[in-house]
Structure 1
């Protein structure tokens, strides 16, 4: 069982919208896109926004031998009419489709990690041992657990629905927070949308997510917000990030790599 639902992986959502859009213009050519790999789509590494880029217009222009600007304008027009509330779509020469995701969609993905993760049960018997190669990930997981335990001792009761948004904008604006959010979304996308991942990918994901968490933990004080306006919301949102990170790391370590995910070191 996947840790997250395929319907809340952002790449899966965008892929579905692109399929619906392209089906309008390709039905007469008997061309369909049944597999997600058939539509070029990837998430950028920009910290300040959740941005996806697709080269599908470039691909179709070669197939149909037509002006790429026509395909791009049709895709942008269809997105603008049907999905403008949550996606900003533009074109970058020579025909790259840029799809910027709203904070509301990003927060839904983060919340899905927590909602689905809380329902998971251990499916393997973890033997308490540490991996030299992935110690950074095991340490990050243990740090997440200790922070969540500290929050309970400090009297912070995490709500079922994390207050990610403030006036429809992500309340966590620090670059380190944004970077961690991006890494979490990236892992969710790959877990849901890729069927041929190997152990090397899971190891790489564990390390990248752990490093993003370490930057977040060192640069963004969770408890230092107590004197700030809306301090409770900021603390709860940061703890939500910690919880999502812990759940993803546990899933990668124990379910995919069969390595012990310690609660303390």
Structure 2
């Protein structure tokens, strides 16, 4: 099992990243079937929990607490610096994404195009009125990025609408200043955190698409796109980029623009690659 960080690894989703590391930690027992791993409901903290120790207790003939402690010791170097690993009561393993891990993951989503699946199941044809809110959010993301480029908050490599690539590349700042001098994520407003949480949730839901494997249950692409669109609209209404934020805390403004870029990338992917629809750069 490699110890590459979340930016360097080929896994697209956070959940897949953790599942493969859990598999590596329990490899001495061979195949054990599905590994339980679920995302916590807290939108401020990105926490995943696994009851794998309870599942292994009978096979390993140890208490869940003892097994969880062993696995946590193995997982720590595999997940560092992206996740903090700890053992909770009853042998539950908790993996909390660090600010450093979030910054790396967001940078990847904002600047590296998502891989196009080799095989995919397109959504049934969706009416234009149902697509419009999602397309509007995508176009709004693009508009904000172009405006920031004109105001020299950021520098986009190809800002022209006619020639813009699928994902805009930032010439500056690179990397995006996600964290402050104390390595704490600048994005702490509830609107920031809610959008980050939704980005992670949507990609985790799409994990079977990226893994080119069968869906256990059908994924409603329109529903997850709408959820992301709504989270973006809430972020846009609550989290300022211009005005005092641009003047007094320009790096926070740039981090929020990075979040806009990450959202644009994922909305474009869902629209074009899964809903077979247009992702307009302007409306």
After superposition, residues 161-240 of structure 1 pair within 5 angstroms as: 161-166=175-180, 167-192=182-207, 195-197=213-215, 200-224=219-243, 225-228=245-248, 231-240=249-258
Q: Which runs of 5+ in 2 are unaligned?
A: 1-7, 117-125, 156-171
Q: CA deviation at 1:81?
A: 5.8
> Which structure shows the bigger proportion of residues in helix conformation?
1
CA RMSD, Structure 1 to Structure 2 (Å): 2.7
Show the counterpart of 2:161. none
3-state secondary structure, aligned to 1:99 = strand
**Contact residue 198 and residue 231 of structure 2 kept, 8 A:** yes
**Contact residue 99 and residue 185 of structure 2 kept, 8 A:** yes
3-state secondary structure, aligned to 2:154 = coil
Instruction: Give the paired residue count.
Output: 244
Q: For the structure 1 residues 171 and 201, does the alpha-carbon distance in structure 2 shift closer, same or farther, using more than 3 Å as the test?
A: same
Is 1:38 aligned with 2:34?
yes
After superposition, residues 1-265 of structure 1 pair within 5 angstroms as: 6-7=10-11, 9-24=13-28, 26=29, 31-32=30-31, 38-64=34-60, 66-80=62-76, 83=79, 85-117=81-113, 131-158=128-155, 159=172, 160-166=174-180, 167-192=182-207, 195-197=213-215, 200-224=219-243, 225-228=245-248, 231-265=249-283
Q: For the structure 1 residues 94 and 201, does the alpha-carbon distance in structure 2 shift closer, same or farther, using more than 3 Å as the test?
A: farther
Report the Cα distance in structure 2 between the residues aligned to 1:12 and 1:193, rounded to whole angstroms.
Answer: 10
Report the Cα distance in structure 1 between the residues aligned to 2:22 and 2:114, rounded to whole angstroms.
Answer: 31
Scaled by the length of structure 2, the TM-score of the pair is: 0.76
**Contact residue 8 and residue 108 of structure 1 kept, 8 A:** no
Q: CA deviation at 1:84?
A: 5.2
Q: Tell me whether 247-256 or 14-23 shows the greater mean CA deviation.
A: 14-23
Scaled by the length of structure 1, the TM-score of the pair is: 0.81
Higher RCO structure (Cα 8 Å, ≥6 apart): 1
Report the Cα distance in structure 2 between the residues aligned to 1:9 and 1:119, rounded to whole angstroms.
Answer: 11
**Contact residue 139 and residue 279 of structure 2 kept, 8 A:** yes
**Contact residue 37 and residue 51 of structure 2 kept, 8 A:** yes
Post-superposition Cα deviations, 1:208-265, rounded to whole Å, max 9, x if no partner, equal 111111110010011130232xx22111111111111011001001111101222223
